[in-house]
Structure formats: C-alpha cells, structure tokens
Amino acid sequence: MSRQKQQLSLHRLKTVGEQSLAMSTEAFEVGLFDPNASQGVMLSRVWTSATLLRSVSWLSLKNAQGRNIYIRPAGEHRLTLIDDLGIEGIERLKSEGFAPAVVVETSPGNFQAWLHHGQVLPKHLSTFAARFLTVRFGGDLGSADWRHYGRLAGFTNRKAKYRRTDGTFPYVKLHEATGAVYAAADSFIAEIKRLYELERGRHQSPACSRRRRADSTNSTNLNGIEHFRTKAIYGGDHTRTDLAYTIYALARGVSQHEVRIALGSRDLSHKGDSKRQEEYINRTLKKARERIGDNWKGQ
C-alpha cells in the first residue's frame, strides 16, 4: 500500500470512529446503496461501533465499486437528523440553542446535522420532532422521520451529479463531532410532546375516539409496519408491503396521520425528492381506501 493510500485509510478510520462515537448509539444500521441498480438496492448491516470500525476496509471497497455509505441508529434512539442544510442553517441551529452533536458535509456546501436530545424518543415522537425541526430550520422534509439514513463521513458521495471531470467524486466530510446534547433539549422535548398531543387531537374527533374504543380492546395489539416488512410473502417488495400495511391499518381505525408516519419510516429517497415521496404516500393511501371501500373508518 502506498503512503498516500495508507494515510487515507487511517484518516477514514479516524473519521468513522469520531462520527460513530458522537452519535452515542450502541448499535447502528449501515446501509450501502447502489444508485446504478434499476430501482436502487440498499444492502443493510446492523453493527456495533466495534464491528463498524473493523468493517471500514470492506466499506471502502464497496464505496469504490459505486455504493454510497449511510448510517443511522438501530432501533429507537436519542437523535434527529436534519438533511440538506446550508452553512446558514447550521449557524442558526447553534445560535438558537440546537447545536448539533454531529455535522457532516455530504457534498460541497451541503450539510447534515444530527441533534442529540439526551433521551430516547418513541418512534412517533421522534418523527414528529424531525419534521418540526426540519420545517423550522429549512431542511429536506422528505428526509424527516425517526429512522432516516444519514451519510457516513470518510467515503465518497457517488451521486452522478457530483462526478468530477476526472471521474472522481467528493468525499463526505466530518465537520463536527461533539456528541453533546443541545442546550434547548429539555424545553424542546416538553414542547414537542405538547404539540404532538394537540396535533393528534385535531385528527381524532370525539366520534372517532369512541369508534376506536369500540373497535379494539387494545390498539397496541395491532401489528406495526415492521411486522409486514418481515413477511416472506411479499418477497422484499416494499411497495407491496406498504400497501398491505396501509389496508390493514386503515381498516382497523389507525389514523391516516399515523399511517403516513409509518410509511415514511423507511428510506424513500429512491422515489425522488420530497414532493415525489409525498405523492407516493398519497397514492398508497388512496389505493388502500379504494380497496377497503365502505369498511374504511375515515380517520
């Protein structure tokens, strides 16, 4: 190995170690996305920090072969990702008490920020917080959910639009990795909980609430979308899985608001920009309502 390659390898290992440490997570989902596949193929691994570091060389090989390298916490977690920020957005976060635990430059002048809440948020609240923060600070709403992938620094961004004239791609850079809980965390989480309850109340009329209580002895007995994603009958076709879950959930009184959150809990970036992702969710809901017909509870 040449001295230059050895230095690059050591720098990449250091960068991955710093980012993973600052994300304050026991286990990660690492995604390797192939943009050249017909519909995009995400190869996923669940690793501890130690396994992640041992796998950097393998990730480097896959990156060189054309895959983009992503990371997110495994399971419910303490973080929120805000995607597609300019440097002004990063500065606003800091000035308003939301200093990120991790800042990654995914392409020249384009940033992702991971905010550390200091406590694990349940999925619904994590998604609600992500959407609230994204709207407030001007990120990509299509990436605002509880389990969206962010870029792993130290590897190249293989999107075709970033290909340079010499055929190379820009590196994803780690700008900050403090791992710190932002100053406004306690007050923000309290406010988010209050706003979520108000939002949920707007989606549930008294009649809807009564009907829900009559329809089910305990709503927690309903299967979540992850149950459908593990069923072999759908053959890994997430479009079929999404529709099956949506039909099941709406027919049992789950609100469209909650179904939207569930559908957005997987990476929909292959559908296009945030507008196209919303259109996909709308189409799925429309198809499900048509299938259910008169049995839809209309929440």
Residue with tokens 């916490």: 73
Q: C-alpha angle with apex 73: 70 to 77, nearest 5 degrees? A: 150
Beta strands in the chain (DSSP E): 27-34, 41-48, 68-73, 77-85, 102-107, 110-121, 150-151, 173-177
What pLDDT shows up at residue 212?
46
Q: What domains can you pick out in the chain, each with its CATH number?
A: 3-186 (3.30.70.1790), 204-295 (1.10.1240)
Structure tokens at 290: 């048509």
What pLDDT shows up at residue 235?
74
Summarize pLDDT for 157-208 with one digit per residue, the tens. Answer: 999 899 999 999 999 999 999 999 999 999 999 999 998 888 777 655 554 4
What pLDDT shows up at residue 1?
66
Residue numbers in the chain where pLDDT is lower than 50 = 207-220, 295-299
Summarize pLDDT for 279-293 with one digit per residue, the tens. Answer: 899 999 998 888 877
142 CB-near residues (< 8 Å, 6+ apart): 268, 269, 273, 274, 275, 277, 278
CA dihedral 152, 153, 156, 158 (to 10 degrees): 40
What pLDDT shows up at residue 197?
87
What pLDDT shows up at residue 195?
87
Q: How far apart are CA 253 and CA 180, in angstroms?
A: 40
What pLDDT shows up at residue 216?
40
